[in-house]
Amino acid sequence: MRVAGPMTEEAAAGMKQLAESIAQQPGVIWKIWTHESGTDRFGSTYLFSDLEALETYKEMHMKRLEAFGVTEITDYIFDIMEDLSVINKAPIGAPS
């Protein structure tokens, strides 16, 4: 996704509030935030408890991002390949 404007202290504070809000959403186990340094490109990877929680969150969050002026929103839904992920120390089955 792209975020208009530079990363200011005000924008960072807004993202912190957003992160705190996301942490309270039912079914969100974790979120990893990403940013391509020096650009307006941001991304993230989430882990949800189940598909229903993901779909409920996605509907709300897409509207919220659009209201913030975020553009080029793309999303993909993948299944976890647990057998391989466990080999690489993924926190599968770990407490949230």
Span 62-71, pLDDT tens digits: 898 888 788 7
pTM across the whole model:
0.78
Residue-range domains of the chain with CATH: 9-87 (3.30.70.100)
In which band, very low, low, confident or very high, does the pLDDT at 1 lie, cut at 50, 70 and 90?
Answer: low
Q: Up-side HSE of residue 23: CA atoms within 13 Å toward CB?
A: 8
In which band, very low, low, confident or very high, does the pLDDT at 34 lie, cut at 50, 70 and 90?
Answer: very high
- Bridge partners, 31 (sequence order): 46
Span 39-53, pLDDT tens digits: 888 889 999 999 999
- The secondary structure of the chain in percent helix, strand, coil, rounded to multiples of 5, reads 40, 20, 40
